[in-house]
Amino acid sequence: MIGWLQWSLIEFPLCVGAAISTHLVMSCGQTLMHYWLGHRRIGGILFRNHINYHHARYARGHLTSTVPEGSEGNNTPYFYIPVLLVGAAAYFVLPLGLFIAVTAGAGASFYAHVWFDKAYHIDGSYLERFAWFRRKQQLHFVHHLHANANFAVIDFFWDRLLGTYREPSGPTSKPPIPADAAVRAITREKH
Ligand SMILES: [Zn+2]
Ligand SMILES: [Zn+2]
């Protein structure tokens, strides 16, 4: 009985808190790396990949596409390195229960970041029926239109702290057209 009470009152809330904190550290790290490495030459391959693929593919007039982004120029594998290094260090420092919570939080957060960035750019995503998703999507599109703003992918309050937050422009802004339609229009112009 004492063991169960201790688990439900102390250990379980501690593990939930650790998982949430891990996600916040991950989303803060994503925002800072996007800001410092993704948009500055010092980022090297991360900078070139991000600008030449993600930003080139999704720009003004073609922010969404019916075809998901391919693996070419994908920076995600590079982020496995720091995450796995921190994970290995956590294994030696944390008790097993907390280590599992931190690992689960980090894995879920990592996956959520990749998934949201893909979903924002899918034309007609089923998530667009949700106001909270459309709001985050618009905030992310602001980054594609103004590359010095909104570096977060999930938690845009980090941009408020960083001083890079920017609200989406009003309803007068043109609705984005799918990348495929833009590509077809360019191809038609050439012929
Ligand atoms: Zn960017
Ligand atoms: Zn994007």
Query: Where do the domains of the chain lie?
Result: 11-190
pLDDT of residue 9: 76
Tell me how far the alpha carbon of residue 138 lies from the centroid of ligand 2, in angstroms.
10
pLDDT of residue 61: 79
How far apart, in Å, are the Cα atoms of 94 and each of 37, 99, 101, 114?
A: 30, 6, 10, 27
Tell me how far the alpha carbon of residue 43 lies from the centroid of ligand 2, in angstroms.
17
pLDDT of residue 121: 92
* Each residue's pLDDT expressed in tens, for the chain with a length of 191 residues: 677 777 777 788 888 998 999 999 999 999 999 999 999 999 888 899 888 888 888 888 788 888 777 767 677 777 778 888 888 888 888 889 889 999 999 999 999 998 998 899 998 888 899 999 999 999 999 999 998 999 999 999 999 999 999 999 744 344 444 444 444 443 344 44
Token pair of 160 as six digits:
């408020």
Tell me how far the alpha carbon of residue 147 lies from the centroid of ligand 1, in angstroms.
6
SS3 13: helix
Look up the pTM and report it.
0.79
Tell me how far the alpha carbon of residue 143 lies from the centroid of ligand 1, in angstroms.
7
Give the ligand at the shortest distance from the Cα of 150.
Answer: 1
Give the ligand at the shortest distance from the Cα of 31.
Answer: 1
pLDDT of residue 170: 47
pLDDT of residue 1: 65
Tell me how far the alpha carbon of residue 58 lies from the centroid of ligand 2, in angstroms.
7
Q: Is residue 176 within 8 Å of 64, Cβ to Cβ?
A: yes
Residues sharing a CB contact under 8 Å with residue 139, sequence separation 6 or more, in sequence order:
150, 152, 156, 167, 168
